[in-house]
Chains A and B, each alone.
Chain A
Amino acid sequence: MRLLRWGLRASLLLMLTPVPAAAHTGSLSGGFLGGFTHPLFGPDHVVAMVAVGLWGAFLGAPAMFVLPIVFPLVMAVGGVLGILGVSLPGAEIAIAASAIVLGLMVASAARPPLWLAATIVGAFAIFHGYAHGAELPAGTDAAAYSIGFVMATGLLHLTGISLGLTVRWPAGRVGVRGTGAAIACAGLVFLWRLA
């Protein structure tokens, strides 16, 4: 219950944070707010990040903690490639595929070994990081922007974990697996739009 309370607090923060910040800036471009909203305004990012958290919660300890730690670290590698302008073909397809694969993992209640789960999540993290790095707006305060999008990504993971903790109840288990299926379907829609 304590974890659930912490998760709910984190989720609450995630919902609350953009409101006061937007009131001060009047612009959603650049800086901390630009970085923070970048993952939130991309549905493909949102569903994949939530799926990472859901899957982590489904897998239980230690995966629940390892995945949200691995993701930002590997995502930074992708971000470096994006900032340096290194060509990474098929990044958008891989991002859509991440929603499909991670959604299916949750929907099917897959329980691979931790190293495999971390590898799958890490591989997709590179493409998500690449997209964030490549789309860093010119003239932006890079420090605030990067901190913003890393934080938003992490809070999306925590949101997924919070939702995923409901698997301890039968109805919650059905709900989480259903959410995984919906995320996989959303991934298919993203892929179809790219075609």
Chain B
Amino acid sequence: MALALLALLPIEEAAAHPPFAGATGFYGGLLHPLFVPIHALAVLGLGLLIGQQRPRWRWPVPVAYAAGLGTGFAAMISAFAPQFSAEVLLAVAAIIGALIALARPVPALVGSVLALVVGIALALDSPPGGISVRDANVILLGTFCGAVILLWAVLEVAGMLRGDWQKLAVRIIGSWVAASAVLVLTWRFAR
């Protein structure tokens, strides 16, 4: 819990200095999901939800997430112009946060669909800043790895939260994820 909170703290600095400014190439892509608040929020929520729904949810949900990332990046490489990917990501993050807060059993199929959408939206919302196709592909590869590692890290931490109080802390963080996502989504439509 403390580690999760601390992980969110560098967001201010990251927002002021996007990872691409100082960290380019594979490393810049690797850091992208961690330092873009919307992405970190969605992956944090997904990881906590998967951890909360264990053992009902097994490998298909994380695999659906990775498949979504791959699909999104493939679409981007194919010059697909994404629209509203950030908004979709926020909407799904709000649903995921609400599900965590409710802490009710959720079918694995629903989890897989949510994970797939998070993966696709996150990938489409991560356009590379490379000046050549090769640079762009390296950045995308880094983003893919970063997004997978981030989910894996959250999953590992969530897997340790088995105590009653820790489960409640997860539900509270879920309500924070939902509230933050709803607010940012509204702001994006209102601006």
Give the B-binding residues of A (Cβ under 8 A): 2-3, 6, 9-10, 13, 17, 20-21, 24-25, 31-33, 65, 68-73, 75-77, 79-80, 83-85, 133, 136, 141-144, 146-148, 150-151, 154, 158
Contact = CB atoms under 8 A, between A and B. Distances in A.
Given A17-B9, A24-B12, A31-B12, A75 B180 contact: no
5 contacts: A10-B1, A32-B9, A32-B15, A75-B179, A144-B12
B32 interface: no
B31 interface: no
A147 B15 contact: no
Contacts of B183: 76, 79-80, 83, 133, 142, 146, 150
A195 to B, nearest CB: 31
B188 A20 contact: no
Interface in B130-184: 163, 165, 168-169, 171-172, 174-176, 178-180, 182-184
A161 to B, nearest CB: 10
Contacts of B98: 73
Contacts of A75: 179
Contacts of A9: 1-2
B16 A25 contact: yes
Given A141-B37, A144-B11, A150 B179 contact: yes
Interface string B1-20: 11001101101110110000
Interface string B113-142: 000000000000000000000000000000
Interface of B: 1-2, 5-6, 8-9, 11-13, 15-16, 37-38, 41, 98, 101, 163, 165, 168-169, 171-172, 174-176, 178-180, 182-184, 186-188, 190-191
Contacts of A144: 11-12, 15, 37
B2 A13 contact: yes
Q: At the interface, is chain B mostly helix, strand, loop or mixed?
A: helix
A69 B178 CA distance: 10
B171 A69 contact: yes
B15 A141 contact: yes
A158 B176 CA distance: 13
A157 to B, nearest CB: 8
B179 A143 contact: no
A13 to B, nearest CB: 6
A144 B16 CA distance: 10
A156 to B, nearest CB: 12
A17 B11 CA distance: 12
Contact of B175 (A21, A33, A68, A143): A68
A142 B187 contact: yes
B172 A147 contact: no
Given A31-B16, A32-B15, A65-B168, A72 B179 contact: yes
B176 A84 contact: no
